[in-house]
Structure 1
Amino acid sequence: MTDISKAPGIVDATSYGLIPGRISAQARQVIERLKDAGYTAYLVGGCVRDLILGEEPKDFDVVTQARPEEIRQVFRNARLIGRRFRLAHVHFGREIIEVATYRAAPSADSEDDNGNVFGTLEEDAFRRDFTVNALYYDPDEGLITDYVNGLHDLAHARLRVIGDPEARFREDPVRMLRAVRFAAKLRLQLTEDGRRLLPVLGPLLQGVAPARLFEEVLKLFHTGNAAATYETLCEYRLFEVLFPGVAAILGPHADRDSLLGRALANSDQRLSEGKPVTPAFLFAALLWEGVREEAMHSIAEGAVPVEAWARAAEHVLREQLRVITIPKRFSVPMREIWGLQSRFERRAGRHAFRFLESKRFRAAYDFLGLRVASGEAPAALFDWWTHFQEAAADEREAMVGALSAQGEKRPRKRRRRRAAGG
């Protein structure tokens, strides 16, 4: 059992660059109103960690001794969410401040009727996963409270689990993915016991609900550190647990110049420029090698290409869904991106004009670009489609006409069957 009797370290926040002006005005308002109502309240977790590291927090979380129903009494604009662990979301227009009650380990005897296990500030600190996420900042007092030496670990770029690492990872295997995410995002080094345990306990992720793993994969690859995250997942043999079929083809690690390597780097670049990324494109890149290998094998054995690609996509996706749920709103466009790749080679007649109007053309075109960059598809094909998009109507006609002159055949029209007796 973790000893929570140690005195906390309480330090001047300004020495770590934390000043009230860097805090969301709404978050400060939430803390002030909770204090006015007689409760203690702190900023906690990732926002404190990121402020110390000089990063801009994506959100601000507050923790307090007030129970969920008491929080709602203080804030009319609060909405309680969650069943097992109730939280309050305090709404300020489009900004939401999440407010949680101090919690204790499940063994505590302070469980309420809804199954919430409430505790003290100290218990809340030792319940958290990593020391760098267990820092509490009071902007009014200008103080940081640290029970677990999180400040020391941040100063030494170290990611350390609170409590016994093996017990914590077994308690919730998803903590291993969080360890990878923080290590990659914050450039922190896992402690020796963490580095040793991840490859050994990784198979425990197979028991996690596939829907939950989908959300965790998005957090891993859609936070602007996808390339580094992939490297870390491979280092600790967790990628092969999440994507067993692809890992069997790629081996221990995909080359940075491969389609997957370029896709992850491209995703990081887009996020750094404030551009959107989509899970459909991400999973299309993650699973592509499995689809391509299976389809090419079938074609080599004499299968019709269109049917081979369709069957490969179906099989690869079905096997992946055993591990990670991919909602249809993403799996459908993902399969369309794959299926449209063969259409780039059919440009004669009116085909190019019709294809250009497809709602999924742009995503498929970007995917073709990755295939070209990785040496999988001819650059001339990509260049032709790039020029075709930019050309005026008469030039497009000339480009398609030139293909016919070079011998590219128009796609054959299917002959309609006559109705019986017709």
Structure 2
Amino acid sequence: MPKRLIKKIKGLISGNAGKTSVRVIPRGQHHFPEEDIGRSVYSVLDGLTDAGYEAYLVGGSIRDGLIGMHPKDFDIATSATPEQIKAVFSRNCRLIGRRFRLAHVRFGREIIEVATFRASHGKAEENANHSSQSEEGMLLRDNVFGTLDEDAIRRDFTANALYYRHTDGAVLDFVNGYEDIQHQTLRLIGDPEQRYREDPVRMLRAVRFAAKLDFTIEPRTAAPIIQLSELLGLIPAARLFEEVLKLFLSGHAQAVWPLLVQYDLARWLFPLSSPDSNDEPGMQRMIEIALRNTDNRLAEGKPVTPAFLLAVLLWGPLQKEWRKAQEDGMHAAPALQKAIQKVINKQAQHTSIPKRFGLPMREIWELQGRLAMRSVKRCEGLIQNPRFRAAYDMLLLREEAGETEAGLGEWWTQYQEADQSERTKMCQSLGGGKKPRRRRYNKSRRNNTPNA
């Protein structure tokens, strides 16, 4: 690509045609928490610069640090190619990826991700083997290497295109990202429609960052999303599932779901669960409460399982299919199994559900009915079930959302707190205790007994 064209693109992106110089924010004029940078990160930065390469911290860690958060994951951008990175860190480096080739430098359990500066895709014509696009404009391979300023231009959002130079503590800004961060604005670099077509997942990233950072999506960046939301149908279901985990397990799930609905993205991730198709009473309320509780648990450092979230998100569609199967003449138990399989199959066409989450999700669903069938023996068996706690939590959630009558959840709460004798009395008071054995008569013996 001619240098004058690169300059023109830079000028248009920054909103100041002709302004191509990088803005350098020196240490002391920004508030990036340098103390959060770990020893392993410095080892990689120093290793690359000592070998004669450029190396910078880049992306989310810089963005988060500048807005007062404590960054945890530090990504590095460098002028070294993947093979050169591996040569520097030969003992603990592994090259990964085909679509986007990069290096993982390992320090025990810690992994530092290192990527080579990328260039704009127009430069790909010089070497077609390193970049390719689908007919829809989606990038299938992105391994065209370039310079620092070219790397800044090809990143997604201005807030993610800031570079920290560890040698002097300066932050480098090519695209007015620092200013956008100050104004809490999320802005795509370049033409939004083209950038979304290159990678439709950027629409999900826009929603995730807006929710996480409490940023406003800039109008020009937001405008094409609804129209282009259908492009998510081109993304492999497995990749979309990974994006779902990022959306809902980032600690801001309650803010994410309304944005997914607003921008018509929810129906491409969970077509059976979006408000226009999931109109079962209490279902949207259930989702809202579940996402709120998930955020609270993550904030408290408690574990969260995707299986529970999936069980909630798909509970409404399951109820519809289960009711339909019973209306067609099936008994409740086989109807439930048929409904479960049908919902899972439909959902898997959009976002895959790995078995490690799909099987627990099924068990949580199946236990909802069993929790209502209380007897001494049943209750003791249920409370020992490894999925009991998740099923119990879902029962409480259903009652809070008004999806089912209240009372059963409180009963199980008291049951868990009771001792063994009290548990037995609780079940027997429902008629669930041991029933006296009825005497069985042998018909043939009765008929052969002589009359007195």
Please give the TM-score of this superposition, normalised by the length of structure 2. 0.85
| Amino acid aligned to 1:28 | Y
Q: Distance in 1 between matches of 2:219 and 2:68?
A: 26
Aligned to 1:393: 420
Residue 291 of structure 2, aligned match among 253, 260, 264: 264
Q: More displaced, 75-84 or 192-201?
A: 75-84
Q: Distance in 1 between matches of 2:53 and 2:130?
A: 22
Q: Does 1:22 align with 2:49?
A: no
Residue 85 of structure 2, aligned match among 71, 86, 92: 71
How far apart are residue 35 of structure 1 and its match?
1.0
Task: Answer whether contact 1:42 1:62 (CA < 8 A) is retained.
Answer: yes
Aligned to 1:42: 56
Task: Answer whether contact 2:103 2:115 (CA < 8 A) is retained.
Answer: yes
| Amino acid aligned to 1:398 | K
Aligned to 1:382: 409
CA spacing shift, 1:408–1:227, aligned 2, 3 Å: farther
How far apart are residue 19 of structure 1 and its match?
4.6
Q: Distance in 2 between matches of 1:41 and 1:303?
A: 64
| Amino acid aligned to 2:80 | A
CA deviation profile, 1:364-386 (whole Å, cap 9, x unmatched): 11111111111123332111111
CA deviation profile, 1:159-184 (whole Å, cap 9, x unmatched): 11111000011111111111111111
Aligned to 2:75: 61
| Amino acid aligned to 2:98 | R
Aligned to 1:134: 161
How far apart are residue 22 of structure 1 and its match?
2.8
Q: Does 1:249 align with 2:277?
A: yes
CA spacing shift, 1:371–1:331, aligned 2, 3 Å: same
Task: Answer whether contact 1:158 1:188 (CA < 8 A) is retained.
Answer: yes
| Amino acid aligned to 1:220 | L
Give unpaired runs (5+ residues) of structure 1.
411-422
Task: Answer whether contact 1:249 1:289 (CA < 8 A) is retained.
Answer: no
Matched residue of 1:88: which SS?
strand
Task: Answer whether contact 1:13 1:137 (CA < 8 A) is retained.
Answer: no
Aligned to 1:167: 194
Matched residue of 1:177: which SS?
helix
Q: More displaced, 17-26 or 128-137?
A: 17-26
Q: Does 1:100 align with 2:115?
A: yes
Residue 222 of structure 1, aligned match among 227, 246, 249: 249
Q: Distance in 2 between matches of 1:226 and 1:174?
A: 17
Q: Distance in 1 between matches of 2:375 and 2:33?
A: 64
Matched residue of 1:350: which SS?
helix
CA spacing shift, 1:86–1:257, aligned 2, 3 Å: closer
Aligned to 1:207: 234
CA spacing shift, 1:254–1:378, aligned 2, 3 Å: closer
Using the aligned pairs only, state the percent identity. Answer: 48
Aligned to 2:104: 89
Q: Does 1:353 align with 2:368?
A: no
Q: Distance in 2 between matches of 1:341 and 1:192?
A: 44
CA spacing shift, 1:157–1:210, aligned 2, 3 Å: same
How far apart are residue 362 of structure 1 and its match?
1.2
Task: Answer whether contact 1:256 1:262 (CA < 8 A) is retained.
Answer: no
**Alignment length (residue pairs):** 408
Q: Distance in 2 between matches of 1:14 and 1:26?
A: 24
Q: Distance in 2 between matches of 1:19 and 1:263?
A: 34
Aligned to 1:415: none
CA spacing shift, 1:19–1:271, aligned 2, 3 Å: closer
Q: Distance in 2 between matches of 1:153 and 1:113?
A: 35
Residue 338 of structure 2, aligned match among 291, 299, 311: 311
Q: Does 1:369 align with 2:396?
A: yes
How far apart are residue 106 of structure 1 and its match?
3.0
Structure whose CA Rg is larger: 2
Residue 189 of structure 1, aligned match among 216, 237, 251: 216
CA spacing shift, 1:254–1:299, aligned 2, 3 Å: closer
How far apart are residue 17 of structure 1 and its match?
0.6
How far apart are residue 349 of structure 1 and its match?
4.3
Q: Distance in 2 between matches of 1:42 and 1:159?
A: 22
Matched residue of 2:164: which SS?
strand
Aligned to 1:294: 321
Q: More displaced, 31-40 or 160-169?
A: 31-40
Q: Distance in 2 between matches of 1:217 and 1:49?
A: 22
Task: Answer whether contact 2:48 2:54 (CA < 8 A) is retained.
Answer: yes
Task: Answer whether contact 1:84 1:114 (CA < 8 A) is retained.
Answer: no
| Amino acid aligned to 1:88 | A
Q: More displaced, 153-162 or 189-198?
A: 189-198
Give unpaired runs (5+ residues) of structure 2.
12-19, 132-142, 437-452
Q: More displaced, 279-288 or 22-31?
A: 22-31
Aligned to 2:135: none
Aligned to 2:367: 340
Q: What is the 5 A alignment of 1:321-332?
A: 321-332=348-359
Q: Distance in 1 between matches of 2:182 and 2:435?
A: 65
How far apart are residue 79 of structure 1 and its match?
1.6
| Amino acid aligned to 1:46 | G
Q: Distance in 2 between matches of 1:177 and 1:141?
A: 35
Q: Does 1:9 align with 2:36?
A: no
